């Protein structure tokens, strides 16, 4: 079984990260320019552009199986023997 994320999840996750990253960008832009108006303009542009880029990046990585493993769910009190039959291979 493979778990996938919906577009809504990807958008909400991207939005929460963008808020943090945009505030950081605004602070850096203000420190460089000394002007809050320019810092805010840069932050607004950066926010909307990068949120969509991030969502697309997230969906691409959803299709990449590198580093993912499918493992069986262990029940309490159920001791599984360490055999090759119990080991699952990485997703392909």
Instruction: Please tell me which of 39-43, 69-73, 87-91 the model is most confident about, judged by mean pLDDT.
Output: 39-43
Model confidence band, residue 72 (pLDDT cutoffs 50, 70, 90):
confident
Q: Which residues pair with 69 in a beta bridge?
A: 90
Query: Given this model, what pLDDT does residue 88 score?
Result: 53
Residue-wise pLDDT tens digits, 5-63: 888 998 888 788 888 999 999 999 999 999 999 999 999 999 888 878 888 998 999 99
Which residue is associated with the tokens 């805010």? 40
DSSP characters over 32-74 = HH--HHHHHHHHHHHHHHHHHHHHHHHHHHHT--TT-B--PPP
| Residue 91 pLDDT > 90 | no
d(CA 92, CA 70): 10
CB 22 within 8 A of CB 40: no
Question: Cα 15–58–42 angle (5° rounding)?
Answer: 45
Grouping H, G, I as helix, E, B as strand and the rest as coil, residue 3 is: coil
Residue-wise pLDDT tens digits, 78-87: 555 555 555 5
The pTM (predicted TM-score) of the whole model is 0.52
């Amino acid at each position: 079984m493979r778990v996938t994320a919906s577009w809504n999840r990807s958008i909400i996750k991207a939005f929460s990260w963008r808020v943090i990253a945009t505030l950081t960008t605004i602070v850096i832009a203000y420190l460089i320019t000394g002007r809050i108006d320019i810092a805010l303009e840069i932050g607004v542009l950066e926010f909307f552009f990068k949120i969509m880029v991030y969502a697309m990046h997230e969906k691409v990585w959803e299709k990449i199986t590198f580093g993912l493993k499918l493992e069986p769910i262990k029940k309490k009190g159920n001791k599984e023997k360490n055999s090759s039959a119990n080991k699952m291979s990485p997703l392909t």
